[in-house]
Amino acid sequence: MTAAFSPFSIDAGIVTRLREDFRQRGVAVLLEPALDAHLWRDLCHEAQVQRGQGAWRLLSQNNVFEINQNNMRGHLGPFARGLLHGSSTLSLLRSVTKRNLEPSWSASCYTYYDEPGSYMGEHCDKFDACRVAFLFYLQSCWPVGASPGPGLGLHVFEGDTSRSALLARVTARPNRALILNGAKQAHLRPPLAPGESLIMLAGCFRLTGKK
């Protein structure tokens, strides 16, 4: 690993693999540890603080006009903002997606699936506000002796509906991250089982218009 990609724990070979995965499947996974351990811990702490300060619930069930979901959201803090607009992040996104991207602050947030039954229904991200998503799994847990259940896996489809082929199921392990072509490819998270939880930083990026 080289300092050139700090705070990401990756090297040039991994970037090449990420670019190819993104091209082929629409999702590129930075295996744990994706981030420098100090930053990861700072983000975990910030997410916990934000959960207790002004977090809000997104709840929509059986609604044909909105994304069906049940989870909690929290405002970004300085560590999250610093990561999302950091030069390494933008450079990595450009290398992997071949697009010039900038943070879309209004669409980015901490996301908490911290109750049994929390989920995110099938959807594509908003094309203008979240052309590409960069998701950072901070903390996740499941019962001792069990495997992560379906709700700890992000299901990513080939097209804009779950009727298309399932291309990937990415397990939310702590300090794992993924770059997602979420505006064009449907994705969903099934309901969490008892004993499971997940806290993540959901970064949304829009096109800058720069060539």
Q: Is 69 in the site for Fe ion (CB under 5 A)?
A: no
Residues numbered 32 to 51 that lie near Fe ion (CB under 5 A) are: none
Helix, strand, or coil here: 206?
strand
Stretch that binds Fe ion, among 21-29, 64-72, 73-81, 180-188 (CB under 5 A): 180-188
Rounded to a whole number of angstroms, the minimum distance from the CB of residue 90 to Fe ion is 20
Burial class (CB in 10 A: 0-12, 13-18, 19+), 47: buried
Q: In the window 108-137, what residues touch Fe ion (CB under 5 A)?
A: 125
Shortest CB 187 distance to Fe ion, Å: 6
CA-CA-CA-CA torsion for 86, 37, 106, 196, nearest 10 degrees? 160
Calpha distance 204→133 (Å, rounded): 5
SS3 at position 131: coil
Instruction: State the minimum distance, in angstroms, from the CB of residue 12 to Fe ion.
Output: 29
Q: Which is nearer to Fe ion, 50 or 108 (CB)?
A: 108
Choose the binding region for Fe ion from 53-61, 80-88, 148-156, 179-187 (rule: CB under 5 A). Answer: 179-187
Q: How many other C-beta atoms can be found within 10 angstroms of the C-beta atom of residue 104? A: 21
Q: Is the Cβ of residue 14 or residue 167 nearer to Fe ion in the bound state?
A: 167
What is the 3 state secondary structure string of 21-38? HHHHHCEEEECCCCECHH
Q: Which stretch binds Fe ion (CB under 5 A): 17-25, 41-49, 80-88, 178-186?
A: 178-186
DSSP state at residue 191: P
Among 121, 148, 182, 203, binds Fe ion (CB under 5 A): 182
Name which of 15 and 120 has its Cβ closer to Fe ion: 120
Q: Report in angstroms how near the CB of residue 142 gets to Fe ion at its nearest.
A: 22
Question: Could you tell me whether strands 187-189 and 119-123 are parallel, antiparallel, or unpaired per DSSP bridges?
Answer: antiparallel
CB of 69 to Fe ion, least distance (A): 10
Q: Are strands 109-113 and 176-180 parallel, antiparallel or unpaired?
A: unpaired
- Chain residues that interact with Fe ion, rule: CB under 5 A: 125, 182
